[in-house]
């Protein structure tokens, strides 16, 4: 009976480990979704900057009056500051891309771990089944 308890206990422990690993995978996928969302926002910002560049270029081409030139260069200074902020965003984006690769790698590791646990559980269930079969056979022989 204690051997049967051992198998049942091992299988229960593996089920708990599998559940914990599935929770880790869920959290990592959530982190990955957050990274994708960040990238999407960054891409939208890049499009906005591109549109601002086009707008400033068009203004530069149409500048005819000195006061408009002064106004333009003031706006251009603001624009360049926003571009500087964009390069900082690019650094953050690179960091997030690196984090994404780390998370994907970790997900693969955890999925492999999960597969190993499922295999181990399968073999334990087989051993338990064999053990129960031998017990039944022994009981029948004793009767």
pLDDT in tens, 101-111: 887 788 888 88
- Mean pLDDT value across the chain: 77
Distance between CA atoms of residues 143 and 134, nearest Å: 14
Tell whether the torsion through CA atoms of 75, 76, 78 and 82 is positive or negative. Answer: positive
Task: Name the CA radius of gyration of the chain, rounded.
Answer: 31
Higher pLDDT, 56 or 60: 56
Percent of the chain with pLDDT over 70: 72
* 84 φ, ψ (degrees, to nearest 5): -60, -45
Q: For the whole model, what pTM was predicted? A: 0.54
> C-alpha distances in angstroms, 44 versus 11, 37, 98, 103, 127?
49, 11, 20, 24, 57
Higher pLDDT, 41 or 71: 41
């Amino acid at each position: 009976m204690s051997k049967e308890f051992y198998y049942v206990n091992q299988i229960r422990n593996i089920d708990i480990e599998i559940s914990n690993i599935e929770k880790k995978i869920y959290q990592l996928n959530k982190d990955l979704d957050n990274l994708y969302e960040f990238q999407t926002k960054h891409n939208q910002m890049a499009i906005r900057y591109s549109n601002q560049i086009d707008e400033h270029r068009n203004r530069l081409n149409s500048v005819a009056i000195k006061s408009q030139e002064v106004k333009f260069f003031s706006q251009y200074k603001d624009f360049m500051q926003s571009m500087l902020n964009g390069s900082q965003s690019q650094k953050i984006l690179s960091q997030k891309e690196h984090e994404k690769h780390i998370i994907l790698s970790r997900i693969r590791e955890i999925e492999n771990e999960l597969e190993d646990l499922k295999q181990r559980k399968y073999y334990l269930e087989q051993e338990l089944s064999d053990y129960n079969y031998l017990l039944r056979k022994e009981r029948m022989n004793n009767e």
